[in-house]
Structure 1
Amino acid sequence: MFDILVYLYETYYRPDACPEPAALARKLSAVGFDEVEISEALVWLTDLTEMAGAEHSAVQASTGTRFYVDREVDVLGTSAIGFIAFLESAGVISALQREIVIERALAVGESPVSLGKLKIIVLMLLWSQGKEPDALMFDDLFGDDEQAPRLLH
């Protein structure tokens, strides 16, 4: 599924440039993607688009601390939670976007979701909202997960 999401991001500059779901499924199939993965990706992307377009004024105005329940910690892991906190503190994502990222990560059905896949989720959220991360954030989102960790000083 994530290969399809990356393909869509790289192929279509904006989400509204994508063809309708049936035509998109045919194009993805013609490129060589598996029918099951295409279906999963389109459902996942449709749900993301619906969530990203919804208004949640209570979450948008949130300035509180986010506590993660056990299931979220199990699925996300500490690296992903730390990365989400970093993105939010850097102003790349809002509190509402953070909640969408968490929900979409939980919807993947993997435990734990790798940091690389979480980065794709964040990138797809921003893409679905017509936002593009700046160059440094783009490097963080598509950077090598195996590189040495950054020092805070």
Structure 2
Amino acid sequence: MFDILMYLFENYIHNESEIFVEESVLTDELLKAGFNSPEIYKALDWLEQLAQLQYSDESPYLDRTPAAACRIYTGEESIKLDIQCQGFLLFLEQVGVINSTTREMVIDRAMALDHAQIALDDLKWVVLMVLLSVPGQEHAYAQMEDLIFDDPNPTLH
């Protein structure tokens, strides 16, 4: 499923900010690219759920978190997002790339991936997809792109 999300991100989302292709046409193209149907539907559902997170008035991710709050990960989250991933999310929040709302959206979407554990590089792509999907986060998206593409081994202070 993650490979499909990457394919969509690189070929559609990154360039146009939204997928304007009809789902059946997109599904056909993904099938021709060699992806299987169950994984395609999982990936499209993942993207749909991401869109619902940002547009829901009742979203649990509305930014109501006090500035000094500390995120405590559940047991399941700690297994899927190791200490390196958790530290990276904390770093992104501390430098202002993400806020508590986008952090929770990233965690939600990472937990929805069908991986037992999420690699740091995969988490970075999830962060990019979330930031690209949230209106008004263009500067944060650009910062995240710089972190990923400009310096392969950034120094975290």
CA distance in 1, matches of 2:94, 2:22: 36
* Structure 2 counterparts to residues 61-140 of structure 1, below 5 A: 61-62=64-65, 63=67, 64-130=69-135, 131-132=137-138, 133-134=141-142, 136-140=143-147
Aligned residues between the structures? 149
State the Cα deviation string for residues 15-72 of structure 1 (Å, max 9, x = none): 4343122221112122222222211111111111111222448741312221112221
Find the counterpart in structure 2 of residue 60 from structure 1: 63
Give the letter aligned to residue 77 of structure 1: D
C-alpha contact 1:88 1:94 (8 A) present in aligned 2: yes
Give the letter aligned to residue 127 of structure 2: V
Shift in Å, 1:126: 1.6
Query: What is the aligned counterpart of 2:30 among 28, 31, 41?
Result: 28
Which 10-residue stretch deviates more, 69-78 or 21-30?
A: 21-30
C-alpha contact 2:110 2:123 (8 A) present in aligned 1: yes
SS of 1:84 mapped into structure 2: helix
C-alpha contact 1:104 1:121 (8 A) present in aligned 2: yes
C-alpha contact 2:53 2:61 (8 A) present in aligned 1: no
Give the letter aligned to residue 126 of structure 1: L
TM value normalised by structure 1: 0.82
Q: Which ranges of structure 1 fall in alignment gaps of 5 or more residues?
A: none
Q: 1:34 to 1:48 in 2, by over 3 A?
A: same
Q: 1:123 to 1:58 in 2, by over 3 A?
A: closer
Find the counterpart in structure 1 of residue 5 from structure 2: 5
CA distance in 1, matches of 2:75, 2:144: 29
Query: What is the aligned counterpart of 1:141 among 129, 148, 156?
Result: 148
Shift in Å, 1:141: 3.3
TM value normalised by structure 2: 0.80
Identical-residue share of aligned pairs (%): 37
CA distance in 2, matches of 1:108, 1:117: 10
Q: 1:114 to 1:143 in 2, by over 3 A?
A: farther
Shift in Å, 1:115: 0.9
CA distance in 2, matches of 1:151, 1:16: 32
Shift in Å, 1:139: 3.6
